[in-house]
Chain A
Amino acid sequence: MILNAERHAARIWSSSLATVLVLGAGTWGAYVYFYLPAYGLPAIAMALSLIAALIASAAFLVAIALSSKWITSIRLRRIEQAKPLLAAAVAEHLTGHDRSKELLAISKRFGSAIDLSLVELMAQLTGTGRERLLRLAQTIGVTDRVIRQTRSVFEGRRNEALGALRVLARPEDVPALKEILIARDERLKVEAARIILAVGSSADIEAVFMFCLRQPLSVRALLLLSLKPYALHLSMSVLPRILNDGDPKMVLPALEFLRAWQIFLPLPEIAILTSHTDATVREAAFHALMDPLSAAAVENRIRAGMADPVVSVQAAAVMAAGRLQINALEMALRQLYRQSADRDVQRNSALALARLQNPAERFLEESARSGGVSARFALEALEQIRLRPSLERM
């Protein structure tokens, strides 16, 4: 999941260089020992040597591809061999007979092939049967092996291990999962975070949220919806602390989450942040204002935001006024609509006025009839609210 190859630049360059050197050595060998004596013409001999070396490399790659397919098929065959033995032993184990020793022996014989089959079986079970198998997996070392495999150099193995971990993980595994959170592979981090959310305690959920705030947007976007069910819990635990601290590095992603979740959360700290010294924080705070019950409390803050020296903050404040439908701000909105030099602020003001309905709507109608540049914004806003209210224009 890492597209930015810059992170692997040293490795990519050194591998490429090594390949060129090997290819060069092969070409030189073929040239000196075969083609030059055979053809006599240096240019032709060199070209033919290079082609021979390239064909040999291509053949080598094809051989690698084929052998990898062959190894996979052997592995799959072993899994198929192990399945009936495993199923029989597991069935007996589930009926109350302790078959852990037998299963350990099967596990030793078939290696990691058994782990996946056991996980497959486990995924089909619920309740006490699953609990018993979870304990068994712990006893015969499957869980430890799977956690180790998440550190494999092969991406396929890592992904396989993560799939297994989703089924195997128990609250006791959270410390090991937290170690995965510092991995370089983002896919690993995201999956580990999700598993922690599924099996972890409240403190673990808070830890995942804190971890998430420090991650790049790609990781935050992937975990956003997984964290949404815990929004209320977070709003009563870590969120007030983060918002009160006011550190833009943490506050901005936190506000971004609050805006994207679109849930009314009892967080008065958001309104306070609308007067933060950093304009990006102020803008994000206006975007995160959701709670219509707090409309009266934030009216003055929005009014101040509408007079902010930074245009993007003004636009965000105007949007908040429309979203929270604060009628007391109608005159301020009319003024911005008429006087702002910024297109976005004018358009947002018209839209906010249209949301306030009458008499703001009547004002827009008159403005539309009067013509002029701003009339177009009035027309657009009225059209949007009346004809396509479900689709907010982008």
Chain B
Amino acid sequence: MTGFWQIFTDIFQIFEWAAIYYVAGITAVYLGMTILGFFVLRRVTPVLTKDEASELARSPLVPGVSILAPAYNEALTVRESVRGMLKLAYSNYEVIVINDGSKDETLQILIDEFKLCRCNRTPSSEIPTKTIRGVYESRDPIRLLVIDKENGGKADSLNAGLNYARTPLVAAVDSDSLIEETALMQVVYPFLEDPDRMVASGGLIRIVNGCSVQGGRVTRVAVPRAWIPRFQTIEYLRAFLAGRVSFSFVNSLLIISGAFGIFQRKPVVELGGYLTTTVGEDMELVIRLHRYFQNRKIPYRIAFVPEPVCWTESPEDLKILRRQRNRWQRGTVECLRLHRSMIFNWKYGAVGLFALPYFLIFEMFGPAVELAGYGLTVIGLALGLIPINVAALFFIVSVLFGVVLSVSALLLEEFTVRRYQRPEDLLVLFASAIAENFGYRQLMTVWRTQGLWDAFRGKTGWGKMERKGFQT
């Protein structure tokens, strides 16, 4: 029994130290990215002032863009968001809404609202998609095309949109998102700055809950009233301002958010468009683009623009949030599995040696390790292997790290983007940055671990996302 106990305590200590090193590693990486992100943001913002953006948007030299907006059962929000999309400050763009076999009145609302009638537009590429039932154009002089097709999922809809787009650039957006007036120009700007190498770019996604919306535009920026979206606001700031800025700086950005991202149409079509068999189609396409250009040794860039471009409704309901996080985790696992040969592969430079290993170690397995850490602490406490004061100190330290990282993300926001003008908004966000560490973070850990487990079991599908509609 003593021998078994000795082995058990030895193994326990190994796990304990492994957990400590893991936490130290993840903290160091996050901290490093925050510091790097800070200096990058100091150099690159503001990318374009509002005046410059609208002036550039009038210039006929900007490349044409097709905005692809897949819509599935979006009757509640589609009118507002399409109206918003049609009012963007950009001289050379069209909106392509793809009705993905909606079971509600999405198509009828679009037909009535925008005076649509059937047209004979021909596709410019032949990426395989579900059957197209009809293509509609407005009788008004607006650049709106609606593709009605059988249900095939978001990636399939985007592929249908890609087929009908003719511009050199395509923007994939969520039709339930609100796009900033100068968003298109902000995200197209990298293509003007580096037209030969730029293949994709994305921008900062913000949470619309709590903000006022009028005519498809966010008219007043405010912090969400409910705590769950507030915590997500902090999460988004952390992910975008520290993570994506740093990844973009070393040209290893792996995610261009599905809510708003711009791509060069030609390479995307050559690659066969979006992969329809994964729930992480946005991340998968970006990784495939990296692979495509690195394999062919063609110089390229994939950029992140640290400017707010798009507002999205975040789930306020725990059930929906759980589905969303589960899906994101499964998406990450699927992408890493599909492109496993790139991980730790020097041939793919920073993508293979930094970004993909980061996603594998910290994003894919991170939640499971964190959960194991909590479990070990409880076991250690129960068996008397960890003194209670040490466990308490570990907990305090882990919470403090979380708080420091969240507060740093808020400081990044305050030093650069500065969208929250009212001091009380900032105070609420500071409070949320602290509060999210008591319960919310642990809940996310559990859900993401479930997502990891589901991915290994081969679970697929998006799950249902209910919309509340924008507060007008």
Contact = CB atoms under 8 A, between A and B. Distances in A.
Please report whether the interface of chain A is mostly helix, strand, loop or mixed according to DSSP. Answer: helix
Interface string A1-18: 111111011011001100
Given A1-B48, A12-B249, A217 B404 contact: no
Interface residues of B, number: 61
Given A43-B20, A51-B404, A8 B94 contact: no
B143 A4 contact: no
A125 interface: no
A16 B39 contact: yes
Contacts of B122: 343, 347, 376-377, 380
Interface size range of chain A in the complex = 35 or more
Contacts of B372: none
Interface stretch (B5-13, B187-195, B228-236, B332-340): B187-195
A216 to B, nearest CB: 6
B139, B143, B301, B397: most-surrounded residue (chain A CB, <10 A) = B397
A187 B24 CA distance: 42
Given A3-B303, A221-B61, A393 B141 contact: no
Contacts of A259: 60
Contact of A4 (B124, B141, B190, B408): B190
A76 interface: no
B92 interface: yes
B60 A65 contact: no
Contacts of A393: 121, 166
Nearest to B32: A20
Given A12-B249, A55-B404, A380-B121, A4 B397 contact: no
B433 to A, nearest CB: 11
B379 interface: no
B56 A221 contact: yes
B143 A391 contact: yes
B193 A4 contact: yes
Interface in A45-85: 47-48, 50-51, 54-55, 58, 61-62, 65
A91 interface: no
B94 A394 contact: yes
B43 A5 contact: yes
Interface in A253-305: 256, 259-262
A216 B166 CA distance: 25
Interface in B26-85: 27, 31-32, 35-36, 39-40, 43-44, 46-49, 52, 55-56, 58-62, 64, 66
B411 A62 contact: yes
A199 interface: no
A224 B60 CA distance: 8
Nearest to B305: A3
Interface in B238-256: 248-249
Interface string B157-199: 0000000001100000000000000000000011011110000
Given A20-B35, A220-B61, A3 B193 contact: yes
Nearest to B43: A8
Contacts of A261: 60
Contacts of B400: 51
Contacts of A370: none
Nearest to B304: A3
B56, B60, B195: most-surrounded residue (chain A CB, <10 A) = B60
Contacts of A44: 390, 393-394, 397
A2 B393 CA distance: 45
B60 A1 contact: no
A332 interface: no
A217 B397 contact: no
Contact of B415 (A9, A61, A391): A61
Contacts of A347: 122
Contacts of A43: 20
Given A51-B401, A216-B193, 10 more contacts: A5-B40, A23-B35, A44-B394, A62-B411, A65-B415, A216-B192, A224-B61, A262-B60, A343-B124, A394-B64
Interface of A: 1-6, 8-9, 11-12, 15-16, 19-20, 23, 39, 41, 43-44, 47-48, 50-51, 54-55, 58, 61-62, 65, 187, 216-218, 220-222, 224-225, 256, 259-262, 343-344, 347, 376-377, 379-380, 383, 387-388, 390-391, 393-394
